[in-house]
């Protein structure tokens, strides 16, 4: 039987659509994993991180910063890749079930509405340095926290610096 491939564009959702999808997961007792970030230049570190994050539950939703919020966080030269194309590339990964873009610097509203079972963040974070508002929202909905170690030598900044020096 042939494997059915999902169009990555179909995995890019509005927050309202993601909330409906989330409700269907809950009705099936499936655990939702959420992570968030800029994911500006997709690299091996991202791919392995997202695979490991997906292993923490039954479905994986990524909240990605819009171009506007990336500029606010990283400066005027970022993002390198625009929000739709970042979302499409991330959605094309087997480990990612849904992608939602957000304009703010924080995901507090998204966490409260989506009610993740598991929240995953990279190894540069821990329970003490997560934004306090986001942490409170995640605690309120009963999310479990998981932190995944970085793959050394793979970061967007490292990729950008290598391009600049070559």
Domain with 160, as residue range(s), is 8-165
Assigned domain for 107 exists? yes
The answer to whether position 129 is within a domain reads: yes
- Total domains in the chain come to 1
Measured between alpha carbons, how far apart are the two ends of the chain, in Å?
46
> What percentage of the chain exceeds 70 in pLDDT?
93
- Per-residue tokens: 12: 């890019």
C-alpha 15/C-alpha 2 separation (Å) is 31
Residue 113, token pair as written in the block:
């509405």
In this prediction, residues 101-109 reach a mean pLDDT of 94
In a domain, 71, yes or no: yes
- Name the residue with tokens 């990612």: 96
What pLDDT digit, counting tens, does each position of 9-21 carry? 999 999 999 999 9
Q: Tokens 């950008």 — which residue?
A: 160
Report d(CA 139, CA 162) in Å as an integer: 39
What H or E segment, with its residue span, contains residue 23? helix 15-27
110: pLDDT strictly greater than 80: yes
């Amino acid at each position: 039987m042939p494997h059915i491939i999902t169009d990555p564009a179909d995995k890019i959702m509005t927050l309202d659509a993601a909330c409906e999808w989330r409700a269907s997961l809950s009705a099936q007792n499936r655990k939702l994993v959420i992570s968030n970030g800029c994911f500006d230049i997709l690299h091996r570190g991202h791919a392995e991180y997202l695979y490991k994050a997906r292993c923490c539950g039954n479905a994986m939703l990524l909240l990605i910063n819009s171009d506007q919020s990336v500029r606010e966080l990283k400066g005027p030269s970022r993002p390198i890749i625009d929000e739709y194309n970042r979302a499409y590339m991330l959605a094309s990964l087997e480990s990612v079930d849904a992608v939602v873009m957000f304009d703010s610097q924080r995901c507090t509203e998204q966490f409260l509405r989506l009610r993740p079972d598991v929240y995953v963040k990279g190894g540069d974070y821990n329970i003490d340095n997560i934004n306090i508002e986001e942490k409170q929202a995640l605690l309120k909905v009963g999310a479990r926290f998981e932190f995944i170690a970085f793959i050394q030598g793979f970061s967007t900044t490292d990729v950008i610096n290598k391009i600049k020096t070559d």
